[in-house]
Amino acid sequence: MKNYNKLLVALSFIFAFQVQAQEEIILKGKELFGDIKARQIGPAIMSGRISDIANHPTNNKIIYIGAAGGGVWKSSDGGASFSPIFDKHIQSIGCVTIDPNNPDNTIWVGTGEPWTRNSVSIGDGIYKSTDGGLNWTNMGLPKSDRITSIIVDPRNSDVVWAGVLGALWGDSEDRGIYKTTDGGKTWNKSFYVDQKTGCADLVIDPVNPDIMYASFWEFRRTAWSFNSGGYNSALYKTIDGGKTWNKIHNGFPKGQLGRIAIGVAPSKPEVLYAVLETEQDKDKGLYRSEDSGASWKHLNSDFELVVRPFYFSRITIDPRNPDILYKGGLRGSISRDGGKTFKPLGNMHADIHDVTVDLHDSNRIYVATDGGLYRSWDSGNTLDIVKNLPLSQYYHLSLDDEEPYNIYGGLQDNGSWYGPSKSDGGIEARDWHVVGYGDGFRVLKHPTKKIIYSEMQGAENIWRYNLETKELKTIQPLAVKGDPKLRFNWNTPIVTGIHNPDRIYAGSQFVHVSDYMGQTWRKISGDLTTNDPTKTNTEKSGGLSVDNSGAENHCTIFTIAESPLNKDVIWAGTDDGNVQITRDSGKTWSNVTANIKGLPKNTWCYHIEASVFNEGTAYAVFDGHSKNDYTAYVYKTSDFGKTWTSITTPEIGSFARNIQEDYKNPNLLFLGTEIGLYITVDGGKNWSKFENNMPAVAVHYLDLHPKTNDLVMATHGRGIIIIDDISTLRQITPEILKKEVHFFDRKPFVIEEESSFGGTASELEFVGPNPNTSGQIIYYLKKRNTFGKMDLEIQDTNGNKIVTLPAGNQKGINIVSWNYNTRNPKIATAKTLSFGGFTSPRVPEGTYKAVLTKGKEVYTHEFKVVNDPKSVITPSERKLQAEAAKMLFDKNEELAYFVYELDELIALNKKIIEKDPKTAKANNKIDAEFNALKNTMVVTTGDMYVGAAEPQLREKLSTIYASVAQQFDAPSPSQKDNIENVMDLYSKATTSLNALKGKYKTKLIDQGTKLGIPFQLKSFDEFLKD
């Protein structure tokens, strides 16, 4: 019976496959996107939240970090720099554990950040690498959500314990301590408390591996509240390798407990430290045990020890001294007297989540913060940030229309910033500017003026900042007479007007509008939320430790969208699940939520995208994760919200937050989800995950630049990520995918006139790459070219070859770059190299052809090249430049040929002298004459650096050639004078050469012939080809 079922499944699979195959070609992203690659531009200047650090137990050059939303990174240089090693997998990390038995190879990662703030991401299980992080395998625990700790038995690498904190937003049976005895193939739940209480920490005794300590925590979040604490929170100990667990509370207060941090002194394992969250303030803080947990003594309730236990429950004890300990906190703190007193750590970003101490040197520590990883060489007095960790956690972004355009956005605990999409030498720390404090969210450029709006949490401030006058004003809507308390979301929506550039919208429970850049506001709606009083009482939020940061403000408007086609059509979506629309600028609103079939009630409306194609069309994205629902909900309406269609498929692997519609092709849509970017080219019938240089990171917001067609993503853990010019994707149709080769149409390529100067960053600093400014020839191959020759040539319209380019061979989209250069000149051989020989003239603007030859098949595609429209250089100046460059190019090649001829004669003469020593006397004179001339034509001594010889004709000619060929405008009078001078030398040299040839060439050839020495000179054309 069982087998029969399997058969049915197999059958249905096959039939489904056949049906699909008939109707359409379905490509997965990896078979389609090819060379279309994302560009990660950081920034790393503010970096982002790091949840865990793991130092190698025997090699202090190796360090791993787990980021809250940015994956796992490895340093092999003692923390000087890091590389990402976990990009294919979910990016929210709980812990990294190195197998003590095989520390170079076996690494475990528990996913899902354990510091459960409102914006925390989710995990999808436990991963293992057996090659030092090159490859990872998911080893199970798929519903664990957050893994706080992993312990590998120091006696046996196959025995591993995992502490699972579990779901934050709902009940779960997947909590507790799990154990494997087969290296992770199978797991058993070895200790479980209940559906609400998970394992917050698990540590092992450094001497006796049968002893472990585990803290369990009862906790829960909703969208409007947080609760830490309960009667089931407890600290447990096992002395039999996890078979039995007993509470060790002797000395702890009675009643409810919250999150408990636990640490064992590595140098004296009977000394334990615990930090408790308790009912009474006087009982909170640090406890110490000197008898392996049999009894506890309360030592300290300092602010840094009790602050926000859900965020800062980590104790680190010095590996050599049991009385030195670090505690995570707002600033982090250190005690040198066994916990009696503490002092704060030095200046660094606030919010300390983890501290580790170097293997050999207790002064050297590493600190994980909300703003990156810090290193200290004096146990935390002075700290230095790691500058190549682009872990920035954006909530939102917007773009302007400058060239290059700028990207504006706000970040978790890292303020608001803007920076360019392109900069000389790459996008570096120096390119980013601060325009807001606190937690940053929406940052908007005024559409026409040099004004930026930015916002900090819950609209505590909305700033209007004039970049020219430096005027800075706070302009958030304020309550007026008769208003109830205004409820602003932590991530308050603000939107600039499309139809009136001075207009700005802001959302509380009302839609507020200002037509005067925030100077005055009016409400254009009533309360658009459910206004549920049970969800608006944030003062009591937090549980045992009140946590009223404003992050739980609920029943608020979260998204506002003005129709690009009709200024009177405005959409609003609320965090408690309402979708409302007005078609008369806010006079009347309709709640269309009930029309959305299949959407669970009160699911957070995260984004509404008003279509550019039709004023009744909009997309709405709903995120249910704060109700413990990880389904992607994306709906489309074409009738102002009367009816809605779901456009998701099971291909979308997690919940979604944002959608971006293309401006040209209504079927091309981009979806930002918790685990990365998905793209559809058929209006949502099929979705493909985009993974080319795109980590599986939470994408919180997307925007498409109308001029460049760049898709720009605000990721919550890997900064800004751009896919340059997505216009190729607009053209994809089933017909194209059936063709062997298809060239995509391209906008004319612009020969950009740009600086070649680099940036200022050191090799330890992150630098975001610039967009490729070469001409990009883009084609689709139905099948990879593995066997047989394939060539790509650029030709002019008459079919003359300009250059051969290395063809892309992969299945899917290939991009081949061409920097508009033609062939470089053949340069005279000398003692050293000449820079001019590596300089190619550019083609003039015009029409060219890409010709792809595969076997007998030839595929041709025409494209246009144009000059930089920003340039002030006139066509006649360009013509003069091209003519001068061509003339000098030709002279370089002619000189090369003359030198070749001369060298051949010198060689012939040498052979004659060798063969017939009688000729020596006369022929040595000839040799001297030849070489005297050669010495004026090319350098024959010296090196490429400070031993360089005095430049000769070749060097002078190639230098002026290179500068003329590289510039865009006509040769200057000074350059013309120089050309005249060089050409004078040139004609003198050729005259001398001709004179010498006249004198000796025939004579030498005759001498050679008599001696049986053949002399065959290549023609000029042969010489060039060779």
Partner 1 sequence: MKKNSVTLVCVFSFLLASVASLAQNADEIISNYFKTIGGAEKFEKLTGTKMEMSVNYQGMEIPVEMVQLKGGKMYLKINFQGQEITQMAFDGTTAWSTNFMTMKAEKMESEMVENIKQEANDYPDVLLNYKAKGYTADYLGKETKEGTECYKVKITKKPQTVDGEKVDNVVFYYFDTENNVPILTETEIKQGPMKGQMSTTTMSDYQEVDGLYFPFTMNQMGQAMVVKKVTLNPTVDPSAFSFKE
CA–CA dist 848, 794 (Å, integer): 7
Sequence letter at residue 706: P
Single out the residue of 239, 330, 498, 803 in contact with partner 1 (rule: CB under 8 A).
Answer: 803
Taking the complex as a whole, the smallest distance from the CB of residue 105 to partner 1 amounts, in Å, to 8
Query: Does 789 interact with partner 1 (rule: CB under 8 A)?
Result: yes
Query: CB within 8 A of 124, min separation 6: which ones?
Result: 89, 90, 111, 112, 138, 142, 675
Query: Does 961 interact with partner 1 (rule: CB under 8 A)?
Result: no
> Which range of residues in 49-57, 538-546, 697-705, 784-792 is near partner 1 by CB under 8 A?
784-792
User: x-or-dash pattern for partner 1, window 746-765, by CB under 8 A?
Assistant: -----------------x--
Smallest CA-to-CA distance from 623 within 593, 646, 600 is with 600
If you search the block for the tokens 């916990």, which residue do you land on? 339
Query: Does 812 interact with partner 1 (rule: CB under 8 A)?
Result: yes
> Which range of residues in 41-49, 255-263, 369-377, 809-817 is near partner 1 by CB under 8 A?
809-817
Pick the closer one to partner 1 by CB: 968 or 1023.
Answer: 1023
Query: Does 787 interact with partner 1 (rule: CB under 8 A)?
Result: yes
Taking the complex as a whole, the smallest distance from the CB of residue 778 to partner 1 amounts, in Å, to 14
Taking the complex as a whole, the smallest distance from the CB of residue 76 to partner 1 amounts, in Å, to 5
> Which range of residues in 29-37, 276-284, 443-451, 599-607 is near partner 1 by CB under 8 A?
29-37
> Which range of residues in 327-335, 532-540, 587-595, 779-787 is near partner 1 by CB under 8 A?
779-787
Single out the residue of 806, 869, 1012, 1014 in contact with partner 1 (rule: CB under 8 A).
Answer: 806
Pick the closer one to partner 1 by CB: 212 or 696.
Answer: 696
User: x-or-dash pattern for partner 1, window 919-958, by CB under 8 A?
Assistant: ------------------------xxx-x-----------
Q: Would you call 17 exposed, middle or buried from its count of C-beta atoms within 10 A (0-12, 13-18, 19+)?
A: exposed
Going 662 to 668 to 674 to 675, the CA torsion angle's sign is negative
Taking the complex as a whole, the smallest distance from the CB of residue 224 to partner 1 amounts, in Å, to 43
Pick the closer one to partner 1 by CB: 682 or 893.
Answer: 893
Residues 125-154 that bind partner 1 (CB under 8 A): 131-132, 134-135
What separation in angstroms does the CA of 1 have from each of 6, 11, 13? 9, 15, 19
Query: Does 16 interact with partner 1 (rule: CB under 8 A)?
Result: no
Query: Does 74 interact with partner 1 (rule: CB under 8 A)?
Result: yes
Longest dimension (CA), the chain: 119
> Which range of residues in 263-271, 699-707, 722-730, 821-829 is near partner 1 by CB under 8 A?
821-829
Pick the closer one to partner 1 by CB: 288 or 826.
Answer: 826
CB atoms within 10 A of CB 281: 11
Query: Does 513 interact with partner 1 (rule: CB under 8 A)?
Result: no
Q: Give the number of residues written for the chain.
A: 1026
Taking the complex as a whole, the smallest distance from the CB of residue 785 to partner 1 amounts, in Å, to 6
Taking the complex as a whole, the smallest distance from the CB of residue 422 to partner 1 amounts, in Å, to 19
CA–CA dist 417, 433 (Å, integer): 5
Query: Does 788 interact with partner 1 (rule: CB under 8 A)?
Result: yes
Helices (H), 553-603: none
Token pair belonging to 87:
């990009």
Which residues are bridge partners to 659 per DSSP?
671
Pick the closer one to partner 1 by CB: 533 or 947.
Answer: 947
Residues 875-914 that bind partner 1 (CB under 8 A): 896, 900
Query: Does 4 interact with partner 1 (rule: CB under 8 A)?
Result: no
Pick the closer one to partner 1 by CB: 85 or 884.
Answer: 85
If you search the block for the tokens 């054309």, which residue do you land on? 1021
Sequence letter at residue 611: S
Query: Does 34 interact with partner 1 (rule: CB under 8 A)?
Result: yes
CA–CA dist 805, 814 (Å, integer): 13
SS3 at position 262: strand
Taking the complex as a whole, the smallest distance from the CB of residue 818 to partner 1 amounts, in Å, to 6
Query: Does 460 interact with partner 1 (rule: CB under 8 A)?
Result: no
Token pair belonging to 89:
């997998």
How many chain residues interact with partner 1 (CB under 8 A)?
69
Taking the complex as a whole, the smallest distance from the CB of residue 87 to partner 1 amounts, in Å, to 11
Smallest CA-to-CA distance from 766 within 39, 35, 166 is with 39
Smallest CA-to-CA distance from 279 within 317, 235, 230, 238 is with 230
Taking the complex as a whole, the smallest distance from the CB of residue 802 to partner 1 amounts, in Å, to 8
Single out the residue of 321, 773, 824, 966 in contact with partner 1 (rule: CB under 8 A).
Answer: 824
Query: Does 76 interact with partner 1 (rule: CB under 8 A)?
Result: yes
List Cβ<8 Å contacts ≥24 apart for 879-882.
Answer: 880/970, 880/971, 881/964, 881/967, 881/968, 881/969, 881/970, 881/971, 882/841, 882/844
> Which range of residues in 147-155, 603-611, 830-838, 983-991 is near partner 1 by CB under 8 A?
830-838
CA 871, chain centre distance (Å): 32
The C-alpha R_g of the chain, in whole angstroms, comes to 35
Query: Does 28 interact with partner 1 (rule: CB under 8 A)?
Result: yes
Pick the closer one to partner 1 by CB: 82 or 644.
Answer: 82
Single out the residue of 807, 884, 885, 902 in contact with partner 1 (rule: CB under 8 A).
Answer: 807
Q: Residue-wise over 100-118: b if at least 16 C-beta within 10 A, else e?
A: beebeebbbbbbbbbbbbb
CA–CA dist 845, 751 (Å, integer): 8
Query: Does 11 interact with partner 1 (rule: CB under 8 A)?
Result: yes
If you search the block for the tokens 């809507």, which residue do you land on? 477
Residues 327-346 that bind partner 1 (CB under 8 A): none
Residues 88-117 that bind partner 1 (CB under 8 A): 104-105
Token pair belonging to 771:
């967009």
Sequence letter at residue 121: S
- Whether residue 291 contacts residue 252, with contact meaning beta carbons closer than 8 Å, is answered with no
Dihedral through CA 87, CA 92, CA 95, CA 96, nearest 10? 10
Query: Does 857 interact with partner 1 (rule: CB under 8 A)?
Result: no
Taking the complex as a whole, the smallest distance from the CB of residue 824 to partner 1 amounts, in Å, to 5
> Which range of residues in 246-254, 573-581, 817-825, 925-933 is near partner 1 by CB under 8 A?
817-825
Pick the closer one to partner 1 by CB: 114 or 184.
Answer: 184
Taking the complex as a whole, the smallest distance from the CB of residue 936 to partner 1 amounts, in Å, to 18
Pick the closer one to partner 1 by CB: 482 or 788.
Answer: 788
Query: CB within 8 A of 961, min separation 6: which ones?
Result: 825, 836, 839, 885, 888, 889, 891, 892
Taking the complex as a whole, the smallest distance from the CB of residue 898 to partner 1 amounts, in Å, to 13
SS3 track for 271-299: CEEEEECECCHHHCEEEEECCCCCCCEEE
> Which range of residues in 279-287, 356-364, 618-626, 829-837 is near partner 1 by CB under 8 A?
829-837
Taking the complex as a whole, the smallest distance from the CB of residue 316 to partner 1 amounts, in Å, to 25
Residues 680-709 that bind partner 1 (CB under 8 A): none
CA–CA dist 428, 761 (Å, integer): 7
CA–CA dist 839, 844 (Å, integer): 16
CA 81, chain centre distance (Å): 16
Query: Does 790 interact with partner 1 (rule: CB under 8 A)?
Result: yes
CA–CA dist 788, 468 (Å, integer): 60
Please work out, in degrees rounded to the nearest 5, the angle formed at the alpha carbon of residue 432 by the alpha carbons of 428 and 433.
160
> What are phi and psi for residue 427, nearest 5 degrees?
-90, 115
If you search the block for the tokens 């009982």, which residue do you land on? 283
* Binding residues vs partner 1 (CB under 8 A): 7, 10-11, 14, 28, 30-32, 34, 74-77, 81-83, 85, 104-105, 131-132, 134-135, 763, 774, 781, 784-790, 794, 802-807, 809-812, 817-819, 821-824, 826-834, 837-838, 840, 896, 900, 943-945, 947
